[in-house]
Structure 1
Amino acid sequence: MSRTDGVLVFIHGWPDTERLWDAQVEAFEGRYRCIRFTLPGFEQGSRRAYSFDEVIGHIHQVIDSACRGEQVTLVLHDWGCVFGYAFAARYPERVARIVAADIGDAGSRRHLRELGIPAKLMTAAYQLYLATAWRIGGRIGDVMSRIFARLMGAPAAAQDIHAGMAYPYAVMWFGVRGGRPKGRLRPPDVPMLFVYGERKPFMFHSRAWARDLAVKPGCRVVSLPAGHWMMVTCAEAFNSAVLEWLEEAC
């Protein structure tokens, strides 16, 4: 039986679906109740863009219908971190703790100070490229998305990747669906395990933020010899780090 006090809610990012978490659900479901879903707009055939508020509302609906008022642990990656942090800020009573993969205080003043000009240009370039792929759509947009996903080493199957998945970038850069909410990305002040891959051209967190987080009670920072999708390429190490932290937190 799953533990009644251990509900894990998995939220993926680009260009993935709920299948990103296959290895984690297999490893955790004997001890915890696992809930995962595909973000709206990421399913096959979708061309609709969703506002940040709509995505946060969808997450709330999923958690509310599945957990009936229980607090949950969010397990987040990529855009899942962005949406998950926003959900935790809006509904703090629903979130007991967070496992965040690879996205920390991205875009904060400390993070931007640490990024060099080449990294800033690379960030803007890939995000605008994906936003443009969403705007173009159709077969061309799909091919653009698949090419970039392959270059980045994304584990998702090429046939499952489509331009519609890139709408968060269009929201952020083109102001689609009202644009990104005002204010910078702020990971919430809850117990957090932050796991990041060391093998990337640049990081999505500042060293200062990671140092501060590591000394907070109930928090931990773990680096893995991996890229952005460490829950796939280093699944065993990732799962061990998460399970160890969860057991200590309970």
Structure 2
Amino acid sequence: MSNKIVHGDGVDLAVQIRGAADGPTVLLLHGYPDTHTVWDGVVERLSDSFRVVTYDVRGAGASSRPKGRAAYRFPLLMNDLRAVVKEVSPDGPVHLVGHDWGSIQGWEAVTTMPELFASYTSISGPSLDHAGRWTRAHSGTLRGLRQMLHSWYIVFFHLPVLPILSWRTGVAPRLVAALERTKTPHFSGTVALDGAYGVNLYRANILPRMRHPQERVTDVPVQLVVPEDDAFVTPALAASALPFASRITRVSVKAGHWVPVTRPAEIADLVARHAASI
């Protein structure tokens, strides 16, 4: 295992490289309010055959924590991701895997800089542009209402002060544990800061894209992993991506939102099979 600092767009990114040095490179991108450790169980199972790369996104873990919502907009996130890919795999594309906000970033990446990726596995995080179109099409329907109820937290994260206090006081991690029906949340020891800074991901990106969804299509081979018991993303919303990828496979798993933690062997197997199929 090796750790390095990669310079992104005005930030330092903590990058971890593990596994087979001569294997295909798989890049695992975590969500909110996680760090790279959310992938530990998956990494362990992929390391025999793949060179596995993780990193803490800006605002999380050991990476820089810039202040203000403007520092978390998509163009900067994409510049960070591009810098990591170019550093760890300068001679060819990588297999990208994203969960939650890592998956949201992944959709932005494979639709705007597809040449960097050999394949993409998306877990519990739709493209905001796909979600914006889907929400408009299903407003007033039972599907739309169901997803709106699942998305209550997005409104909460746009409130002043309260979201940050909820992470710093430990209320938010306990609530997540209750929603996921686990005894204790899986978050890292930096979760109070990860949650407080990372909330800017929502504030910087959600409303602009939901109001004005852009055209987002890709020819990168996509595997769409849909947890059936996800407390935040309904299967119907997850499927909003299907018309926008020319090569896409949908796989349902009986699990909640944090399936990389609860079902790491299954996720590792799906990632390995998808990468091998390319």
Q: 1:59, 1:227 → 2: CA distance?
A: 27
Deviation of 1:212 (Å): 5.8
- Quote how far apart the aligned CAs of 1:94 are: 1.0
How far residue 121 of structure 1 moved from its aligned partner, in angstroms, is: 4.2
Cα distance in 1 between the residues matched to 2:123 and 2:264: 12
Selected match of 2:59 from 41, 55, 59? 41
Quote the Cα distance in structure 1 between the aligned partners of 2:122 and 2:166: 33
Q: Give the equivalent residue in structure 2 for 1:9.
A: 27
* CA positional deviation for 1:207: 7.4
Residue 32 of structure 1 is aligned with which of 50, 56, 60? Answer: 50
1:107 to 131, 142, 163: 131
Aligned AA for 1:93? E
| Offset of residue 211 of structure 1 | 6.5
Partner of residue 260, structure 2: 231
Match of 2:93 among 65, 71, 79: 71
Would the alpha carbon gap of residues 151 and 159 (structure 1) be closer, same or farther in structure 2, given more than 3 Å must change? Answer: farther
Alignment correspondent of 2:75: 53
Say whether the 8 Å CA contact 2:74–2:205 is kept in structure 1. no
Cα offset, 1:137, TM superposition: 6.7
Equivalent-residue separation in structure 1 for 2:166 and 2:268 (angstroms) = 37
CA distance in 2 between partners of 1:236 and 1:5 (Å)? 19
Superposition pairs of residues 1-250 of structure 1, within 5 angstroms: 2=20, 4=22, 6-43=24-61, 46=65, 48=67, 49=69, 50-104=72-126, 107-110=131-134, 113=138, 115-123=143-151, 125-132=152-159, 135-136=161-162, 139-143=165-169, 144-153=171-180, 155-157=186-188, 160-161=191-192, 162-172=195-205, 180=209, 182-184=212-214, 186=216, 188-201=218-231, 203=234, 205-206=236-237, 209=240, 219-249=248-278
> What is the CA distance between 1:235 and its match in structure 2?
1.5
Distance apart, 1:58 and its partner CA: 0.7
SS at match of 1:13: coil
Q: Aligned to 2:52, what secondary structure does the other structure show?
A: strand
Secondary structure (helix, strand or coil) at the match of 1:149 reads helix
| Secondary structure in structure 1 of the residue aligned to 2:57 | coil
> Structure 2: which 5+ residue stretches go unaligned?
1-18
Please report how far the alpha carbon of residue 158 of structure 1 lies from its aligned counterpart in structure 2 after TM superposition.
6.4
8 Å contact 1:103–1:204 — kept in the other structure?
A: no
CA distance in 2, matches of 1:6, 1:212: 29
Given the superposition, is the C-alpha separation of residues 68 and 158 from structure 1 closer, same or farther in structure 2, using an over 3 Å criterion? Answer: closer
% identical equivalent positions? 21
For residues 43 and 191 of structure 1, do their structure 2 counterparts lie closer, same or farther at Cα, with a shift above 3 Å needed? same
Quickly say closer, same or farther: Cα 1:159–1:37, change in 2 above 3 A: closer
CA displacement at 1:193 relative to structure 2: 1.2
Displacement of 1:85 in angstroms is: 1.7
Q: 1:139, 1:108 → 2: CA distance?
A: 29
Q: What is the TM-score when the length of structure 2 is the normalising length? A: 0.73
Is contact 2:133-2:213 (8 Å) kept?
no
- 1:163–1:185 CA distance, 2 compared to 1 (3 A): farther
RMSD, aligned CA: 3.2
Tell me how far 1:149 sits from its aligned partner: 2.9
In the alignment, which residue of structure 1 is the partner of 2:15?
Answer: none
Q: Which runs of 5+ in 1 are unaligned?
A: none
Structure 1 residues 163-189: Cα deviation after superposition (integer angstroms, max 9, x where no partner): 21211112135x7xxx55952484633
Aligned mates of 1:204, 1:183 — CA distance in 2: 20
SS of the residue 2:234 aligns to: coil
For 1:207 and 1:76, locate their aligned partners in 2 and report how far apart those are by CA, in whole Å.
Answer: 13
1:222 CA displacement: 1.2
Deviation at 1:236, TM superposition (A): 1.7
